């Protein structure tokens, strides 16, 4: 394997394990290239003289600066969030999808330790056969869910910096705040490449989607505004991504239990942005107005059957003109 930049040890170790071995529609070289393309972009944005320990220290200081500014301007931050939700997602207090959020929540890593300890990479073949028609169906659905999660994480990482569109509102709070957000987020995303599979170093945000009596609720926690954006995009696209799961609840639960792990999430953050960037380049221009329009298209993609979905992802990477044609036809329907 040839590297164009120095590659940090944890990433190198992870790549040697072939973390996406369950995804058959893309070969190992393609998956590695998607991950490394993103790594190189992050590496170049940070600079070549990188000391990981110093980077984390500086990022922690940035986080403290951001928290202090946000705590002194809670109402203005709330106004920006309301504006973003309405303009980007068409979400309001009366819409079908609604949002509850908490910005600046204290770190809590206990939930991550629990999830890691419950992960199991080996599934008993007899259990698979008792729920699915055969093992091929199970692994096809497993692959589809993994690709869907990868696209969702990619949308979140690529989309969070949209707060730069609201620079006037943010500058009215503090002219240094937008720069702090961008530097903090850039450093944290780069840090994912140095994250080992066995643990997570910090808590920055989470989202949870639940069905209420008359609406769907996305509950979001974020260390700050830019991580709120990351998590709200994830939550919004996850609602849509449920349409890619099997209709049978027992099948869907088994797929979720074996795919939606923090170990996988780390790799989805690494590969997802490159994959989503290529996917987004294949979308009709009419679908790029805001996250609502992108989400509408994502819904149509997730309604494809598993074979069609995997073929689309293959074409996105290898034959983008074919992917553009398929997506355009879906949009016209």
- Dump pLDDT digits (tens) for 30-81: 999 999 999 999 888 887 566 767 777 888 889 999 999 999 999 999 999 9
Q: What is the pLDDT of residues 118-148, one digit of tens each?
A: 445 557 788 888 899 888 999 999 999 999 9
Nearest Cα to Cα of residue 225 among 111, 90, 108, 82: 82
Mean predicted confidence (pLDDT) in 196-206: 60
Question: Helices (DSSP H) in the chain: which residue ranges?
Answer: 9-16, 28-46, 52-71, 74-89, 110-117, 125-131, 135-159, 167-173, 177-191, 225-241, 249-259, 262-281, 291-302, 306-318, 320-332
What is the reported pTM? 0.90
* 143's tokens: 């692959």
Q: What is the pLDDT of residues 95-124, one digit of tens each?
A: 999 999 998 865 544 444 434 444 455 577
Q: What is the rounded CA–CA span in Å between residue 328 and residue 297?
A: 10
pLDDT bin (cut points 50, 70, 90) of residue 262 is confident
Q: When comparing pLDDT for 71 and 207, which is higher?
A: 71
Which of 3-12, 53-62, 316-325 is the least confident region? 3-12
Tell me how long the chain is. 333
- Measured at the CA of 156, the angle between CA 318 and CA 87, to 5 degrees, comes to 115
The CA distance from 225 to 151, in Å, is 22
Q: What is the pLDDT of residues 146-157, one digit of tens each?
A: 999 999 999 999
The sign of the dihedral angle between the CA atoms of 47, 53, 54, 56 is: positive
User: Which has the higher per-residue pLDDT, 19 or 245?
Assistant: 245
- CA Rg, the chain, in Å? 20
Q: What average pLDDT does the structure give for the chain?
A: 87
Could you tell me the two tokens for 53? 């320990």
Give me the mean pLDDT over the 255-274 stretch: 90
């Amino acid at each position: 394997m040839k590297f164009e930049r120095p590659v940090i040890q944890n990433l190198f170790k992870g790549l040697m394990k072939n973390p996406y071995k369950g995804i058959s529609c893309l070969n190992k070289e393609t998956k590695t290239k998607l991950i490394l393309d993103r790594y190189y972009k992050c590496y170049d944005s940070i600079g070549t003289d990188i000391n990981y320990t110093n980077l984390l220290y500086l990022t922690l200081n940035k986080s403290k600066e951001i928290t202090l500014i946000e705590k002194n301007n809670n109402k203005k931050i709330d106004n920006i969030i309301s504006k973003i939700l309405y303009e980007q997602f068409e979400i309001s207090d009366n819409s079908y999808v609604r949002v509850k959020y908490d910005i600046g929540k204290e770190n809590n890593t206990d939930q991550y330790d629990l999830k890691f300890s419950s992960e199991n990479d080996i599934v008993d073949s007899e259990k698979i056969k008792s729920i699915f028609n055969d093992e091929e169906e199970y692994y096809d659905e497993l692959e589809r869910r993994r690709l869907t999660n990868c696209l969702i994480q990619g949308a979140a990482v690529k989309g969070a910096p949209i707060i730069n569109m609201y620079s006037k509102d943010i500058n009215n709070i503090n002219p240094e705040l937008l720069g702090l957000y961008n530097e903090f987020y850039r450093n944290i995303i780069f840090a994912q490449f140095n994250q080992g599979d066995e643990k997570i170093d910090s808590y920055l945000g989470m989202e949870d989607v639940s069905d209420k009596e008359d609406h769907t609720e996305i509950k979001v926690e974020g260390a700050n505004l830019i991580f709120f954006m990351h998590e709200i995009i994830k939550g919004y696209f996850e609602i849509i991504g449920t349409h890619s799961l099997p209709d049978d609840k027992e099948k869907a639960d088994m797929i979720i239990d074996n795919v939606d792990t923090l170990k996988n999430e780390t790799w989805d953050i690494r590969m997802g942005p490159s994959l989503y960037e290529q996917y987004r380049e294949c979308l009709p221009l009419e679908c790029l107005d805001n996250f609502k329009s992108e989400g509408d298209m994502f819904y149509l993609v997730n309604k494809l059957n598993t074979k069609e979905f995997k073929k689309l992802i293959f074409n996105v990477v290898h034959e983008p003109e074919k992917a553009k044609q398929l997506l355009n036809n879906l949009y016209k329907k």
